[in-house]
Structure 1
């Protein structure tokens, strides 16, 4: 048992005093402040900076990214350690902003789940709405955590390997013993089902607010990572029944026409990478996978001279079009079509797989050019789906999660090599390099994290 301020920044009275004072009005109790009214909890839930923007270190390790030689001299030690798959990312004076941000979101969610239903001044419907939303936020955070700091879920095993702590109550003191991969996934699914069971709203005013379609879409992503393709497909279809609009890139005069996240009709639930990761250089293999008539190359990528430090090559473009646009890592309509396509291919229905791919591709290619793909086998359809996934979900860190799960299949296993400052680094399939280490500072202060 350790005091959580050393590791997770979860020390509730100070948290509510300092982090929430701009969002809630609370009554003082002694030297602390407490949440009392339903509007207090709504304010906490609407702290979008905390609830919607975090994570991204895995992007640097993924095959999406490639540091040009001249660029390598200007990157931080954190970036170079992640890029070369080291077992130490941060030095003793540094914290881990990905870990901290995800657990702070969990802290807020736990606070809401624990207290909103007994709050004053709100209707039962208002309380239940906020209550249901918190389960979705918490599930998203744990899905990111277990896929960054835990071993890959393997449907052929009991998944008893240790992953991350499951903190489900807003307690000042709690055991930080790590739960197993299976336990974390069970909690994610339970949280999303709890959101649905509590009548989470269908259509929120803004896409940063959790919804029923977001719960279905996150279940689709979760089951995909677990290799449960029938369940993944079922939930992707449920999400698409509620939201299926796609942006037609042919209608844009330039990248500056691209909608900001909050107005993007493709986004089901908006979550964003930390801005620090948005300038990562994209790999040549990824860039070369775009066909000449694929509009995504010009709208999803931009010259490296637009970033600081600048570089030869291209980076992720969308976050540069507007100061209110980030890199969405939440669930979206394109992702649901891609999940449906992959699941259909894996379930022996290649025509339905390519049908879903072509719905997406029709909105991504130049006018009067060929965009349709076809497949005569499950393998061909699956390969098409995976390539399309890499191009559509470019620069978000999803490639890292895909590399992890695809390593379980000998047909997709691959050894990656990188040369950084003349030294060659290698990442073998299913190696320790696919699990980001928990910051040693946190383990030193809380030894149970290292067990």
Structure 2
């Protein structure tokens, strides 16, 4: 047998090695049997709880490419060549020395681990009703993990979604943990169907809330379905799923009670955390010369508590650094919050003609972010006027997460909301217009060259 590290074998081998290094009980004592698939419910839950194996990590390259941040030359020069190319919107982001992408490998590792759990559950026979319920919840968490991973991959490695379109370049879909089954690249409709099926089934299996926000729940699944429905342009479903999630929990932090002088004013696992995930650490996350884009900072008016809670003066005059992550530290939050959920509900309501519901949700949100008397409650009867405010609040609330790139891709479908991005690097102005092919990242060369996957046009 030829020793090719083909997709997804390369990723799966890494995953198995990682899994075995932390779960020695999965090794059989007999020398002729190196691997035993985890089968007890404790083992299966442990597979998904392995945060040190990136089970709660999301891609970062969309953030680097978005218009959230402005990198000083000293930070940019110290990024990897791949990150620099993403920041400057180069057509080629891979080099012979770096043909690998963690933004591809990490979600596929999550898909693999989810499939390990789902395969393990097939042979599990519950001893009683309590064990049956626990197995049901574990299956739901695995489906949520897999669906969540595919949504992340779709926003990086497929072309921006076109409602009603039939784009043939989706993603390889993996339905089992068998590393010998090498799937083709699906179509986008097939990918969308898989994501929706996983998340809908997860929602039907999971408890309303999880014991820990690092695990999937019905709350998280419905919130992710609402987010994904925005991507699909299905605003009725966005409204419905967001409403389902808000019925479970829609509490917001009153920013007037936060200490803006604290290094990180918003605590980890705070009450707004529906699902906890982080972007990977890097020089751009730790440097105080990673700045918020000046045009974004200018959107925050007087009386907006986020202006002091989210930002602090940077090393250079007139520039500000971000400190408002929902991780309680320097890592950027990549999960789902009730703030995002309420704004998704407001957008879904506005786009489906439910303007009063949209206004009510938006005003409740603003009451928790603005000083009393510093704003007039929104009362707009025009859909576009209301949407303009809602989209601006998404821009101001969801920065430095893994959201802005998604919003740019979907909003560029509509001329009135599309944006032309510009950067000046080393005195040269770089432009990324709406609909540009650079909104889709190339697949890692090791996947196209070794496994024959068709490359994305870039």
Q: Structure 1 length normalisation: TM-score?
A: 0.90
Distance 1:160 1:440, change over 3 A: same
Alignment partner, residue 25 of structure 2: 25
- 1:273, 1:326 within 8 Å by CA — same for their partners in 2? yes
- 2:121, 2:139 within 8 Å by CA — same for their partners in 1? yes
Q: Which moved more, 1:72-81 or 1:14-23?
A: 14-23
Q: Which moved more, 1:288-297 or 1:269-278?
A: 269-278
Inter-partner Cα distance in structure 2 for 1:21 and 1:72: 35
Alignment partner, residue 172 of structure 2: 165
Any idea what the Cα deviations from partners look like across 1:40-61, whole Å, max 9, x if unmatched? 1111121123210231110011
Inter-partner Cα distance in structure 2 for 1:384 and 1:282: 20
Q: Which moved more, 1:389-398 or 1:157-166?
A: 157-166
Q: Partner of 1:381: helix, strand, or coil?
A: helix
- 2:259, 2:265 within 8 Å by CA — same for their partners in 1? no
Which of 41, 47, 52 in structure 1 is aligned with 2:50?
47
Alignment partner, residue 296 of structure 2: 286
Inter-partner Cα distance in structure 1 for 2:47 and 2:139: 12
Alignment partner, residue 141 of structure 1: 149
Distance 1:256 1:316, change over 3 A: closer
- 2:41 equivalent to 1:38: yes
Show the 5 A alignment for 1:48-447. 48-49=51-52, 50-68=54-72, 71-94=75-98, 95-119=100-124, 123-155=131-163, 157-197=164-204, 199-254=205-260, 255-256=262-263, 258-262=265-269, 264-276=270-282, 277-279=284-286, 280-305=290-315, 313-319=319-325, 322-323=328-329, 326-370=331-375, 372-447=377-452
Inter-partner Cα distance in structure 2 for 1:48 and 1:70: 31
- Figure out how many residues of one structure are paired with residues of the other and give that number: 443
Any idea what the Cα deviations from partners look like across 1:271-327, whole Å, max 9, x if unmatched? 11112253543211111001121111221223444xxxx99722331349845x742
Distance 1:342 1:40, change over 3 A: same
- 1:64, 1:399 within 8 Å by CA — same for their partners in 2? yes
- 1:136, 1:191 within 8 Å by CA — same for their partners in 2? yes
Report the alpha carbon displacement of residue 16 of structure 1 after superposing the two structures with TM: 3.5
Distance 1:300 1:212, change over 3 A: same
Gaps of 5+ in 2: none
Report the alpha carbon displacement of residue 24 of structure 1 after superposing the two structures with TM: 6.2
Gaps of 5+ in 1: none
Q: Which moved more, 1:86-95 or 1:393-402?
A: 86-95
- 1:37, 1:121 within 8 Å by CA — same for their partners in 2? no
Q: Which moved more, 1:368-377 or 1:266-275?
A: 368-377
Inter-partner Cα distance in structure 1 for 2:171 and 2:433: 23
Inter-partner Cα distance in structure 2 for 1:159 and 1:261: 41
Alignment RMSD (CA, Å): 2.6
Q: Partner of 1:268: helix, strand, or coil?
A: strand
Inter-partner Cα distance in structure 1 for 2:229 and 2:296: 26
